[in-house]
Amino acid sequence: MIFEVFRQEQRKDYHVHVGNVHAPDREMARMYAQVMHARRKPAHSLWVVPKEEIAEVDSDDEGVSMGGLTQKEYRWATNYNTDETFAEEIEASQREQEEAERGREEAEAND
């Protein structure tokens, strides 16, 4: 059986997918996950999930719409600059959006 592994580096972090392990049962999967994904890179917690329990939605599937295909500039804070300064929390939100946008561009460039 294949188990997908999600690793949380430190307490309070989000769990991030790091790979999978091939194991005969849940117990062994948990042990393999520790050895493979938490030994050299210390972790705070691992989620170990049977692969078939994970429902996937692929952007190439028919009828799937996950953004990025149509022009949606109107959806981003960067599109509205009516003033020079904004409340700090608004600027923080915009920085997160810009970061996500850069991430998408890099991902596309590496495709």
Partner 1 sequence: MQDRYKHCYMDIEEVKQRAGPREFGPTDDMPEEYRKAATRMIQFHANSEIMGAYIERPFIRQAPSLDRKLAVSAQVQDEIGHGQLLYRAAENLGIKTREQMLDELANGEGKFLNCFHYPLDDWYELPMIMFFVDGAAMRRQATLKRTSWEPYAHAIDKICFEEGFHIKHGESILAELASGTRRDQERLQEAFDKWWPRILQFFGPTDDQSTHSDFSSAVGLKTMGNDALRTAFLNVYLPKAEKYGLEIPDTPAVTFNEDTQRYEVEEDDLDWDEFMQIARNQYPQGKGQIDKRHRTQEAVEWVRDAIENPGAGSAAAD
Smaller CB separation from partner 1, 85 or 110: 85
Query: For binding to partner 1 (CB under 8 A), which residues are involved?
Result: 12, 14, 47, 72, 74-77, 79-83, 86-94, 96-97, 100
| CB of residue 59 to partner 1, shortest distance in Å | 19
Residue 36 or 94 having the CB closest to partner 1:
94
Closest distance to partner 1 from the beta carbon of 30 (Å): 9
Burial class (CB in 10 A: 0-12, 13-18, 19+), 21: buried
What 3-state class would DSSP assign to 15?
A: coil
What number of other Cβ atoms are within 10 A of residue 5's Cβ?
A: 24
CB of 11 to partner 1, least distance (A): 8
CB-CB neighbours of 7 under 10 Å: 19
